[in-house]
Amino acid sequence: MASNGNRDTARERYETREYDVLIVGAGGAGLRAAVAATENGLSVGIVTKSLLGKAHTVMAEGGIAASLGNVDPADGWQTHFMDTMKSGKFINNWRTAEIFAKEAPDRVYELEQWGALFNRTPEGKISQRPFGAHTYRRLCHVGDRTGLELIRTMQEKVLATDAEVYMETTITKLLKSGDRVVGALAYTRENGKFIHFKAKAVVMATGGWGRIFKVTSNSWEGTGDGVVLAYDAGAELVDMEMMQFHPTGMVWPPGVRGLLVTEGVRGEGGLLRNSEGDRYMENYDPERMELSSRDVVARANYTEVQEGRGSPHGGVYLDITHLGYDGIMNKLPTMHEQFLKLADIDISKEPMEVFPTVHYTMGGIKTDPETGASNVPGLFAAGEVAGGLHGANRLGGNSLSDLLVFGRRAGEGASAYVKESVHSSDIAEGEVLTEIGRVLEPLKKQGEGESPYLMQQELQEAMMEHANLMRTGDSLKEGLGKVLGLKDRLANMKVQGSRLFNPGWHTAQDIRYLIQISEIIIRTALERTERRGAQWRLDFDGPDDELGRVNFIVKKDEQGEVGIQKREIPPMPEHLASLFEDKVVDMAGGEKRGAESQF
Amino acid sequence: MDSNSAEQKDMASKAHADVHADEKAAANGKTAKLRIFRGDSGGGELVDYELPLVEGMVVLDAVLYVQAHQAGDLAVRWNCKAAHCGSCSAEINGKPRLLCKTRIEEFDGGEIQVHPLKAFPVIKDLVSDISWNYQVSKGIKPFTSDEQAPFTMYEEDVERLYEPKKCIECFMCQDVCHVLRTHHKHAEFAGPRFFVRNQWLEMHPMDNQDRLHDLKEDNGLGLCNITKCCTEVCPVDIHITDNSIIPLKERVADEYYDPAKWLMRKIRGNRGSRNGAAARNGSRNGN
Ligand SMILES: Cc1cc2nc3c(=O)[nH]c(=O)nc-3n(C[C@H](O)[C@H](O)[C@H](O)COP(=O)(O)OP(=O)(O)OC[C@H]3O[C@@H](n4cnc5c(N)ncnc54)[C@H](O)[C@@H]3O)c2cc1C
Ligand code: SF4
Ligand code: SF4
Ligand code: FES
């Protein structure tokens, strides 16, 4: 057993494993990509930082959005497409959104085919619930544990294939040969052994980066590894300024601050009130009220508290008592348990206290809508780590269907790439050992050093203060200074203990990602000088039409610095643009689902 | 713009300030004391830690506080912090519990000892090697259907499947079951978690597999003597013994110890039993 980092890395031994496709991440996106690649007859390795079945996907509660039209027959892909674009304030990639809306129903039925069980309608179909800014009742769900159903179904599907899963194993670098990504280096969390994965293609499915903020619904895993690994390998990122603040996180007790209260509560009729008892959504979006889009409700909740109409612990009230105990146990049993056990609140008798919490990252690796390919050959991406579908604001329920639609497409895209090209996955000598040396540094550091845990906290506090859901140029600049200061201190990090399951050492790896992403977010937020969706600049009055036609693309420049380019969004083709002109269009008519539908 | 930028900044940073105010108000000058197992496969000992007690604190909060401030290499698993993912299972005062769902206040100042799950080999501190469970899972015949989705299934067809499907794979039932914990029958016994999984598979109206043979021969269903210890520890209240294990035992008994069935199987192979199971499962109406 290697006990600590004092050994000479030149003699460090590592294992080598070879696959056609390496999948980084075992959330819904990674698992769906794995199924696609194994169905293509390829060898597949899956790497995940935690145990199988524990990724963020398991925490999703509210549901998966797809225009099945089971309860509202008028629904169809066109409406789902339009809702997604409108909510994203039209900076989404329209082709991505089109594919998404057309294929989501197939992916839901496919889950059912693989054993997933959703709540039923009286007609024996999959039941669908309303959610914020979805025109129709569209979220397929099973109580408030839809993500569990999704990930367990996918996990059991994958266990029945030949794909090999490396649990509690962390990728630290993508390895390239020339322009191509041909593998990655990983260490095992259990004992700090290194593994060189050789692969003809890599699918990045590492999820989001909510951990850059202190108040977040994300677990320790949400450190955005994949987006930085891809950036370092030369990939373009898109819409990085767009972070979603979920309107309703728990506020009390402090240990659960930020924990998610599902939008399903509002979907099932939950009412928001301030300390004066007013249903204040009337002042922000009288038409959609509590079911307005997330950016609007989050700002409303925030504003009510700032203006002194908050609850004792600095939140607003969310009331679902009218559903009664039986209704709540039927539709929101997990929420009932969560509040009862953690906050001593019986939500069938009293309202909850809630406040916005960082939840989701709209931006990410820029991908080709058809294949999930990034601009770097051999590198594909899907799920929350990819950008483009959600634009400036994601609709609830759209993530779970995103994972499956584009997980599948990235798996297919990677498979086609592997089959088409003959290339070796060998890399330059010494590269593996250099990387191993870097990863071991915090364990080897002599003398005084800084704690990775405290550095992470410092960063989270800086981002809370300067890049929160209301932003100003001055404050962002101040935040940038703090983040760059932390970046300079990265080399000071020192951890105690050995390589044996050492969370301090693991945290020391994550910080590099958190700091790099924070820098990118602040820099792009400084560029987008307007109010659009999740990016809300207090020092500018409203949306800027010109900025509404561009995405900010980030790419590492020649000097290794954050390069930002303003890129024009191509105009929507006629068949999509016309949907928005013709208001009385029959959404159920015409092409109901994608041409490739097997269901 | 400058004139109100101070105000804007103030607004932009106020939520942040509130977080700290809350923590201060909640830290009431009291302390929490914890004894945590520190060690690895070679052995270890309980180590005492003391930290500021915050209102509503759960054991996981305390463990993470110790990790951040006192013992950076303290190993523990967690993800959701909301009892949804089943990562943080450990033993508190000898009983398997979710660390994120167990409040410090519950112990009224009494001793809190935290150990890893003991039915599995310890890796380090509060983390044990539970990979065996995933091997068992891989051996179970997955859901398979001849029908084409979308399925037509009514609530009454599926309502009893919701319960086993709530399982968050915390593996605490596996930890507490004496067949594994005391008798180490890992090679012959799948454990309560996987009886739960078999239950929904067997009862799903659209599934066409027969798992009764595997349950009897490979999964050691007969080794369970219905002590109900598993049911007692399940954090999502699955009635493992009554609703999963006993119905499966009944089906196996029906299938293998009923002389008429036995004769049928001799004559027709396993196909006959498969149709029989489908009929018992209720409606098959998805066309
Ligand atoms: C509390 C909560 C509730 C939600 N509710 C809903 C909902 O109701 N509906 C909805 O549509 N969406 C919901 N979302 C959003 C949705 O769940 C996530 O966006 C989605 O699950 C992300 O899936 P993913 O497959 O992209 O990544 P994840 O599920 O986050 O998985 C990422 C995987 O990558 C692995 N990984 C990361 N970095 C590395 C590395 N360096 N090396 C190896 N592996 C790595 C992780 O270990 C993990 O396996 C919710 C999110 C949260 C947090
Ligand atoms: S009821 Fe059976 S499975 Fe459950 S703990 Fe007892 S012996 Fe084990
Ligand atoms: S059945 Fe209950 S105790 Fe057993 S693994 Fe599942 S959730 Fe845990
Ligand atoms: S951390 Fe998920 S169950 Fe405790």
Q: Are B230 and B241 in contact (CB under 8 A)?
A: yes
Average pLDDT, chain A: 94
Among the partner-chain residues A471, A500, A503, the one whose CB lies closest to the CB of B40 is A500
Please compute the mean of the pLDDT values over residues A356-380 and round it to a whole number: 97
Q: Higher pLDDT residue, B245 or B9?
A: B245
Residue A586 pLDDT greater than 70, yes or no:
no
The pLDDT of residue B258: 77
Please compute the mean of the pLDDT values over residues A259-276 and round it to a whole number: 94
Q: Higher pLDDT residue, A593 or B159?
A: B159
Q: A468 vs B15: CB contact, 8 Å cut-off?
A: yes
Distance of CA A324 to the CA centre of its chain: 33
Least confident range from A101-105, A155-159, A584-588, B218-222: namely A584-588
Q: Tens of pLDDT along B79-137?
A: 999 999 999 999 999 999 999 999 999 999 899 999 999 999 999 999 999 999 999 99
Give the number of other CB atoms < 10 A from CB of residue B21. 11
**pLDDT tier for residue A564 given thresholds of 50, 70 and 90:** very high
B148 contact residues in A (CB cutoff 8 A)? 113, 599
Run of H or E including A327:
helix A324-331
Among the partner-chain residues A156, A159, A215, the one whose CB lies closest to the CB of B19 is A215
Cα A592 from Cα A581, distance rounded (Å): 19
- All residues at 6 or more sequence positions from A285 whose CB lies less than 8 Å from its CB, including other chains: A292, A296, A297, A300
Q: Which residue CA neighbors atom 3 of ligand 3 most closely?
A: B234
Please compute the mean of the pLDDT values over residues B216-232 and round it to a whole number: 97
Interface of A with B in 272-331 (CB under 8 A): 302, 305-306, 313-314
Q: A143 vs B67: CB contact, 8 Å cut-off?
A: no
* Ligand 2 atom closest to the CA of B228, numbered from 1: 1
* Ligand 2 atom closest to the CA of B227, numbered from 1: 6
- All residues at 6 or more sequence positions from A133 whose CB lies less than 8 Å from its CB, including other chains: A83, A86, A87, A288, A291, A292, A293, A294, A395
Interface of A with B in 199-228 (CB under 8 A): 214-215, 219-221
Ligand 4 pocket test, pick from B97, B98, B114 with the greatest ligand atom count within 8 Å of Cβ, gives: B98
Cα A154 from Cα A115, distance rounded (Å): 9
Is there a common fold for A248-355 and A448-566? no
Please compute the mean of the pLDDT values over residues A261-268 and round it to a whole number: 92
Domain spanning A248-355, CATH class = alpha beta
Please compute the mean of the pLDDT values over residues B250-264 and round it to a whole number: 82
Q: Tens of pLDDT along A493-538?
A: 999 999 999 999 999 999 999 999 999 999 999 999 999 999 999 9
* Ligand 2 atom closest to the CA of B225, numbered from 1: 7
Terminal Cα distance for chain B, rounded: 65
How far away, in angstroms, is B236 Cα from ligand 2 center?
17
The pLDDT of residue A342: 92
The pLDDT of residue A583: 54
* Ligand 2 atom closest to the CA of B173, numbered from 1: 5
Of A196, A211, A266, A409, catalytic: A266
Task: Decide: helix, strand or coil at residue A33.
Answer: helix
Domains assigned to chain B? 21-128 (3.10.20.30), 131-282 (1.10.1060.10)
Give the number of other CB atoms < 10 A from CB of residue A516. 21
- All residues at 6 or more sequence positions from A167 whose CB lies less than 8 Å from its CB, including other chains: A26, A48, A50, A51, A52, B131, B134
Q: Higher pLDDT residue, A372 or B12?
A: A372
Q: What is the largest CA-CA distance in chain B?
A: 92
Q: Tens of pLDDT along A437-480?
A: 999 999 999 999 999 999 999 999 999 999 999 999 999 999 99
Q: Higher pLDDT residue, A74 or B24?
A: A74
**pLDDT tier for residue B21 given thresholds of 50, 70 and 90:** low
Cα A46 from Cα A32, distance rounded (Å): 11
Q: Which residue CA neighbors atom 41 of ligand 1 most closely?
A: A171
CA angle, A283 as apex, A280 and A289 as ends, to 5°? Answer: 70
Q: What ipTM goes with this model?
A: 0.92
Give how far B268 is from chain A: nearest CA, Å.
28
Please compute the mean of the pLDDT values over residues B140-153 and round it to a whole number: 97
Give how far B35 is from chain A: nearest CA, Å.
19
**pLDDT tier for residue B267 given thresholds of 50, 70 and 90:** low
**Nearest residue in chain A measured CA to CA from B88:** A54
Residue A6 pLDDT greater than 90, yes or no:
no
**pLDDT tier for residue A421 given thresholds of 50, 70 and 90:** confident
Q: Is A16 on the interface with B (CB under 8 A)?
A: no
Least confident range from A306-315, A407-416, B27-36: namely B27-36
Of A196, A246, A471, A528, catalytic: A246
Known catalytic residue at A313: no
Which-ligand-closest: CA of B189?
A: 2
Please compute the mean of the pLDDT values over residues B150-171 and round it to a whole number: 97
Q: Higher pLDDT residue, B261 or A539?
A: A539
The pLDDT of residue A598: 42
The pLDDT of residue B24: 56
**pLDDT tier for residue B263 given thresholds of 50, 70 and 90:** confident
Known catalytic residue at A266: yes
Q: Please give, one letter per residue, the 3-state secondary structure of A413-454.
A: HHHHHHHHCCCCCCCCCCHHHHHHHHHHHHHHCCCCCECHHH
- Looking at domain A448-566, which CATH architecture does it have? Up-down Bundle (1.20)
Q: B54 vs A115: CB contact, 8 Å cut-off?
A: no
Among the partner-chain residues A125, A344, A451, the one whose CB lies closest to the CB of B150 is A125
The pLDDT of residue A9: 57
Q: B9 vs A474: CB contact, 8 Å cut-off?
A: yes
- Would you kindly state where each structural domain of chain A is located, as residue ranges? 248-355, 448-566
Give how far B239 is from chain A: nearest CA, Å.
16
Please compute the mean of the pLDDT values over residues A242-257 and round it to a whole number: 94
Q: Is A63 on the interface with B (CB under 8 A)?
A: no
User: Closest by alpha carbon to A119, among A101, A100, A145?
Assistant: A145
pTM strictly above 0.90 = yes
Residue B255 pLDDT greater than 90, yes or no:
no
Residue B266 pLDDT greater than 60, yes or no:
yes
